[in-house]
């Protein structure tokens, strides 16, 4: 008969672990979907509407965003899952029944802490390996897909305003051949200084310079005074040119530069350590003064990124621990209550993190160590709530 208490406890562990796990997975999926949708709309929707990307390519790129959003969705998801499950079983008096049978709150929380540790390990892998690879691959593929046919940015019968200082309109486009071409050159206030209209033209892509080279035939050029481009009292000068000199339209705003420096956030753990060692060497070799202070800031930037990734992973465990006593105290069945409380706590955590990030240019305050303050605050608050509930 002695095995029955152990069997009961094992069943209890599996019941809580399974309930919290399934709810956490649903919550993570919800938050990941919202974050992924926002990134997809911001980065990909314009390309999709312009025909730069196919639906299949867009889907592949969205999947590459998954590790990036999961690193943020995991802490919020596990907090929401713990609050919802513990709030439900507390509202059903299951927690009261467990404690009446001699099972402490700490014992009830054991499977939740185990899940938090597993989530912490997953987040570490995502932050230091999966997410950097996926983000670099995402940028590389997006650049390749878009640059494969830049001429698609010129959409016929559409006013294209993506070129700095110009507005372009094409009546008909067949490959690189343009017909009924219109171009307005704008001043800094957005007023038209020059207008070009050509019967036909040709557009070529200069890969090295990241520019469109447009050559027009049978073009008329209308020029207005720079001081008063809107003054229509004097007739404008409109010469006709059989073939114009090549017109250069920069694609930097649309495509960015062909070579983009990899951000620290998109580096793996090994790359961050190598970068940190390099910057420490440069700092030690720098001359005292402004140069050394700048090198010290560069070193701190790498340390902040490493600590940010570490603390985000530990936040999964912190949120799991604080979610147990809060879920028991809330004792609500409503999903909205759990989601609202989880959102408030997550916002508070990230606000504290942002406050520490403001000190990034002051290495003397050691903001890399201060990144741990939000986790310590949440862990201390969780321990205090546990003690208060145990005394009740």
Q: What is the pLDDT of residues 3-61, one digit of tens each?
A: 444 445 578 888 888 988 999 999 899 989 988 888 888 888 877 876 667 888 888 88
In this structure, the answer to whether residues 170 and 142 fall within a common structural domain is no
CA separation for the pair 72, 78 (Å, rounded): 11
Quote the pLDDT of residue 237.
Answer: 57
Which residues, 6+ apart, have CB-to-CB distance to 344 below 8 Å? Answer: none
Quote the pLDDT of residue 379.
Answer: 87
In terms of residue numbers, what domain contains 245?
A: 164-250
Domain final residue, candidates 199, 220, 250: 250
In this structure, the answer to whether residues 85 and 168 fall within a common structural domain is no
In this structure, the answer to whether residues 138 and 204 fall within a common structural domain is no
Give the closest residue to 46 by CA, choosing from 255, 260, 257, 259.
255
Task: Kindly report, residue by residue over 108-146, the tens digit of the pLDDT.
Answer: 888 999 999 999 999 999 999 999 999 889 888 887 776
Quote the pLDDT of residue 1.
Answer: 38
Determine, yes or no, domain membership for 48: yes
List the structure tokens of 145: 């897909």
Quote the pLDDT of residue 174.
Answer: 83
List the structure tokens of 83: 């609050």
Quick check: 46 and 160 in contact, CB under 8 A? Answer: no
Max CA distance (Å), the chain: 107
Which residues, 6+ apart, have CB-to-CB distance to 247 below 8 Å? Answer: 183, 196, 213, 214, 215, 216
- What is the DSSP pairing of strand 211-223 with strand 240-243? antiparallel
Task: Give helix 373-391 / helix 290-330 axis angle, nearest 10°.
Answer: 20
In this structure, the answer to whether residues 14 and 132 fall within a common structural domain is yes
In this structure, the answer to whether residues 192 and 299 fall within a common structural domain is no
Helix or strand holding residue 181 (H, E) = strand 177-186
List the structure tokens of 235: 């007739």
Determine, yes or no, domain membership for 71: yes
CA separation for the pair 306, 299 (Å, rounded): 11
Determine, yes or no, domain membership for 318: yes
CA separation for the pair 205, 214 (Å, rounded): 9
- pTM for the structure as a whole: 0.73
Determine, yes or no, domain membership for 94: yes
Determine, yes or no, domain membership for 42: yes
Domain count, the chain: 2
DSSP state letter for 365: G
**CA atoms within 13 A of residue 26's CA, in its CB half-sphere:** 12
Measured in degrees and rounded to the nearest 5, phi and psi for residue 242 equal: -65, -45
Determine, yes or no, domain membership for 256: no
Give residue 174's region: left, alpha or beta (phi > 0; psi -120 to 50).
Answer: beta
In this structure, the answer to whether residues 130 and 13 fall within a common structural domain is yes
CA separation for the pair 31, 346 (Å, rounded): 12
Quote the pLDDT of residue 108.
Answer: 83
Quick check: 200 and 178 in contact, CB under 8 A? Answer: yes
In this structure, the answer to whether residues 42 and 135 fall within a common structural domain is yes
Determine, yes or no, domain membership for 50: yes
Quote the pLDDT of residue 194.
Answer: 80
pLDDT means per 10 residues, the chain with 392 residues, are 49 86 91 88 79 82 89 88 85 79 81 92 93 89 74 77 82 85 81 83 80 84 65 60 79 58 83 93 86 88 92 91 82 56 77 82 86 88 83 70
Domain final residue, candidates 250, 278, 296: 250
In this structure, the answer to whether residues 139 and 172 fall within a common structural domain is no
Which residues, 6+ apart, have CB-to-CB distance to 307 below 8 Å? Answer: 368, 369, 371, 372
Quote the pLDDT of residue 229.
Answer: 56
In this structure, the answer to whether residues 122 and 229 fall within a common structural domain is no
Determine, yes or no, domain membership for 275: no
Domain final residue, candidates 198, 227, 250: 250
Quote the pLDDT of residue 372.
Answer: 92
In this structure, the answer to whether residues 10 and 138 fall within a common structural domain is yes
**CA atoms within 13 A of residue 183's CA, in its CB half-sphere:** 26
CA separation for the pair 124, 67 (Å, rounded): 11
In this structure, the answer to whether residues 48 and 97 fall within a common structural domain is yes
Quote the pLDDT of residue 106.
Answer: 81
Give SS3 for 358. coil
How far, CA to CA in Å, does 79 sit from each of 36, 118, 249, 251?
19, 14, 50, 44
In this structure, the answer to whether residues 60 and 192 fall within a common structural domain is no
């Amino acid at each position: 008969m002695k095995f029955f208490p152990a069997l009961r406890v094992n069943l209890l562990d599996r019941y809580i672990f399974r309930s919290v796990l399934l709810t956490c997975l649903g919550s993570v999926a919800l938050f990941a979907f919202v974050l992924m949708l926002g990134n997809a709309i911001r980065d990909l929707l314009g390309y999709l509407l312009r025909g730069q990307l196919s639906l299949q390519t867009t889907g592949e790129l969205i999947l590459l965003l998954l590790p990036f959003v999961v690193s943020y969705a995991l802490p919020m998801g596990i907090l929401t899952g713990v609050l919802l499950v513990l709030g439900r079983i507390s509202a059903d008096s299951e927690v009261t029944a467990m404690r009446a049978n001699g099972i402490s709150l700490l014992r009830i929380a054991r499977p939740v802490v185990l899940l938090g540790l597993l989530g912490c390990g997953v987040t570490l892998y995502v932050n230091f390996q999966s997410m950097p690879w996926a983000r670099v691959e995402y940028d590389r593929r997006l650049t390749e897909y878009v640059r494969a046919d830049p001429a698609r940015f010129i959409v016929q019968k559409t006013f294209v305003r993506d070129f700095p200082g110009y507005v372009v309109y094409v009546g008909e486009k067949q490959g690189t051949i343009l017909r009924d071409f219109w171009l307005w050159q704008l001043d800094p206030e957005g007023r038209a200084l020059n207008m070009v209209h050509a019967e036909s033209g040709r557009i070529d892509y200069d890969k090295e310079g990241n520019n469109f080279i447009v050559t027009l035939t049978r073009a008329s050029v209308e020029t207005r005074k720079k001081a008063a481009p809107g003054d229509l009292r004097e007739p404008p000068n409109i010469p006709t040119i059989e073939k114009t000199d090549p017109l250069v339209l920069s694609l930097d705003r649309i495509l960015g530069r062909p070579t983009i420096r990899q951000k620290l956030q998109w580096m793996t753990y090994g790359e961050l350590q190598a970068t940190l060692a390099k910057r420490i060497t440069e700092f030690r070799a720098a001359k005292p003064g402004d140069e050394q202070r700048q090198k010290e800031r560069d070193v701190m930037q790498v340390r902040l990124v490493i600590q940010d990734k570490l603390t985000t992973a530990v936040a999964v465990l912190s949120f799991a621990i604080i979610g147990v006593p809060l879920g028991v105290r809330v004792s609500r069945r409503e999903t909205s209550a759990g989601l609202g409380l989880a959102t408030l706590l997550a916002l508070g955590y990230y606000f504290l993190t942002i406050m520490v990030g403001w000190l990034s240019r002051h290495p003397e305050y050691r903001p890399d160590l201060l990144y741990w303050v939000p986790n310590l605050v949440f862990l201390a608050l969780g321990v205090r709530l546990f003690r208060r509930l145990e005394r009740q």
